[in-house]
Amino acid sequence: MTEPVSSDQPPFRPGGSVPDDPLVTTDINGRILFWNPGAAALFGHAEAEILGHSALELVPPEDRADHLRTLRELFTLGGELPTGSLPLRGFTRDQERIELDLSLFTWNTPHGRRFMGVMRPRQAQATPPAVPEQLSITTKLFEHAVEGMVVMDRDWNVLAANKAFTDICGHDLDTLAGHPAPLFRNQEAGTPSRQDVIIALEQDGAWRGEVRNRRASGEVYKESLAITTVRNSFGRTTHFVAVCHDLSSAIRTEEEFRFHTSHDALTGLPNRFLFTDRLEQILNHAHRSGEHVTLLVLGLDGFKHINESLGHPVGDQVLREVAERIRTLIRREDTVGRLSGDEFAILFRDARHESRSVVAVMQKLMDGLSQPIRIGDQDLTLTASMGLTVFPGDGDNALTLIRNTNLAMTRAKQAGKNTYKFYTSAMGSQATKRLILENSLRKALENEEFVVHYQPKVDVFSGQVMGMEALVRWNQPGMGMVPPGDFITIAEETGLIVPMGRWVLETSCRQTREWLDAGLGPLQVAINLSARQFQVGNLNDTIREVLDKTGLDPRFLELEITESLMMTDIDKSITTLQELTDDMGLKVAVDDFGTGYSSLSYLKQFPIHTIKIDRSFINNLSSGTDDDAIVRAILSLARSLNLQVVAEGVETAEQLAILRELQCEMFQGYLFSKPVDAAAFETLVRRERAKQPAV
């Protein structure tokens, strides 16, 4: 039998209510089952015409969607009823909107759960005198706050914003009102989206962070942003409030501070501290690459007399003009700094060590600096004395080179000024030595004077040899082993590196195939590619031919390239490497990682498999150091990109222990073995294999 809709009277009277209070009872679907005279008087509906209708008819149309969602949560999903009274807007038969206080109650019947609402018109309450004043203060705080503030509805549309907010975003309030707040306009990688923030707000009710946003002008800027969720008594989100602070000024101040602490205030050039730091970095790279570095220090002749006779303001103008002239006379890749007073230093990276080229550079500087400088109504003519050193012959660190170069400059001044001196008189003999070396190098390949040495790559945890790096060595008759730094650069400059690289590739692949056939594997051989080899158009054909000739499976060949080589021509590099990896199945490693200038956004586009941490970060590796932090960061980056990591230059047990703790996969270095010839390498691997427990 169907239950009559008019029979469900509440079994109790709520505490505090009176007989005339409007009472409405509904079922779980919101259908009105009971309607007392108080409800009829309040809403204007007779009992007969309202029973069986939806309770949503008692709410204004614009509020029904919100109330429907709330009722579904409370009734259908079994949500707990709120205690106390809740604010509600009623909707009468005459379509009048009235403000009510609603109290909810529930009980169970044989026919299902019932809900009763007790409604009372909201009474205007006397407001204490302090409230209007407090509201006025709050309004003024909102309007005049330094931080930008914006109030939004639940759809993020702007309801109110203060002047600071409109100043920051560049939109006026009329433009913003009713439209989504401009909080997440910048789509750069790493910038949180509004959806990311919404998820956090749903979980925590608040979100705070730093974001990069975009003004109405299109300018991208950084700001701190805090967003808070505002919920009603039903726990539903009704508004969002955001407070933002433009960080542009703070960032500029920080950048200016860093600049002023590392640059000369008068000329804007790197000061002694920054110049020395850059020199040290370049020397560290030159240690590994075999590059030569030329350091020049020049001192103005008679500058003290200018200061004493014309005053320091004139002297400052002279120094600024000299700095600007030096900038225009050197290459963009060269580094210039002001060491002190009238002393300037210039760093020529990867300099060609023919005496005529070095002299040409100095002569160009001397001619440019000797041109008259116009100060007021007079012309001042200056000369400069210069000293030079060349790495590695004249010093193996920045301080030594600077000291030796200053000594050479002092000797130039002592020799009559307006001239130059090398730290040693060996420049001519060095040029002769280079010429002889180049001629010998051309014959070395056909005379089979090159050999390949192999340095093991070892599993950090098991100690098992997993592969090796192939390194070319020159065993010159009558001279013994020639240091790689003495001939690799010459081979690169002359183009001999291409046939030499082909020989190393073929020799290493053949040897690896022999080891694999002898059951010494699995072993993967890594071979370094030079810039000249990479730029040659037939590199991929050469590698394919060598693999076919030697029969080595491409899976056991890894090519090592440097960061700087990758970034030389990005599009070409990506195309070349993709053909090697995708079409041929080779592996690619980035050598000396962390010392170049590659962008992380580009790094993920390259088809690389391995990162080799440069030895400069391993040398001083210990817990809590900057190098420790850098290595951790590299390993974290590698894991996020699913890359294998090899640490180079491991020489101590402590370094290995830290790498093991940091979960680095492989290492190579003198702790395990220096580079050795093929026979010694095979003996080493067999000995280590014998130590491994049988499976």
Percentage above 90 pLDDT, the chain:
23
* Mean pLDDT across the chain: 83
pLDDT band, residue 142 (cuts 50/70/90):
confident
CB atoms within 10 A of CB 673: 19
User: Average pLDDT of 91-106?
Assistant: 86
Collect all residues with Cβ–Cβ distance below 8 Å to 243 and sequence separation of at least 6: 147, 148, 149, 225, 226, 227
CB atoms within 10 A of CB 599: 11
Please tell me which residue, 667 or 413, carries the higher pLDDT value: 667
pLDDT of residue 547: 95
pLDDT band, residue 2 (cuts 50/70/90):
very low
Q: Is the pLDDT of residue 60 over 80?
A: yes
pLDDT band, residue 657 (cuts 50/70/90):
very high
pLDDT of residue 357: 67
In terms of average pLDDT, the best of 162-171, 502-511, 603-612 is: 502-511
pLDDT band, residue 123 (cuts 50/70/90):
low
With contact defined as beta carbons under 8 Å apart, do 47 and 35 qualify? yes
What is the SS3 assignment for 662? Answer: coil
Amino acid at 362: M
**Tokens 């090796």 correspond to what residue?**
468
Rounded Cα distance between 673 and 281, Å, is 27
Percentage above 70 pLDDT, the chain:
86
In terms of average pLDDT, the best of 100-109, 223-232, 429-438 is: 223-232
Element at 72 (helix H, strand E) = none
Task: List the structure tokens of 686.
Answer: 């067999």
Residues paired with residue 228 on neighbouring β-strands, in sequence order = 206, 241
Rounded Cα distance between 533 and 530, Å, is 5
Q: Is the pLDDT of residue 650 over 90?
A: yes
Q: Which tens digits make up the pLDDT trace of 392-406?
A: 888 888 888 888 888
In order of 52, 491, 552, the CA distances from 504 in angstroms are 92, 13, 14
Task: List the structure tokens of 37.
Answer: 């005279």
Please tell me which residue, 583 or 647, carries the higher pLDDT value: 647
Q: Is the pLDDT of residue 44 over 80?
A: yes
Rounded Cα distance between 657 and 576, Å, is 37
Please tell me which residue, 415 or 609, carries the higher pLDDT value: 609
Q: Which tens digits make up the pLDDT trace of 334-366?
A: 889 999 889 999 988 765 544 456 677 788 888
pLDDT of residue 552: 95
Please tell me which residue, 461 or 604, carries the higher pLDDT value: 461
User: Average pLDDT of 174-190?
Assistant: 79
Please tell me which residue, 429 or 320, carries the higher pLDDT value: 320
Element at 575 (helix H, strand E) = helix 570-578
Q: Is the pLDDT of residue 675 over 90?
A: yes
Which DSSP letter does residue 446 get?
A: T
Collect all residues with Cβ–Cβ distance below 8 Å to 547 and sequence separation of at least 6: 509, 554, 557, 584
User: Average pLDDT of 536-544?
Assistant: 84
* Lowest pLDDT segment from 184-193, 455-464, 658-667: 184-193
pLDDT of residue 119: 86
* Lowest pLDDT segment from 92-96, 118-122, 603-607: 603-607
pLDDT band, residue 76 (cuts 50/70/90):
low
pLDDT of residue 3: 42
Q: Is the pLDDT of residue 668 over 90?
A: yes
pLDDT band, residue 432 (cuts 50/70/90):
low
Q: Is the pLDDT of residue 226 over 80?
A: yes
User: Average pLDDT of 472-497?
Assistant: 86
Rounded Cα distance between 346 and 420, Å, is 14
Which DSSP letter does residue 84 get?
A: S
Q: Which tens digits make up the pLDDT trace of 296-339?
A: 999 998 888 888 778 888 889 999 999 999 888 888 888 899 99
pTM attached to this predicted model: 0.44
Cis peptide before 522 (omega within 30 of 0): yes
pLDDT band, residue 106 (cuts 50/70/90):
confident
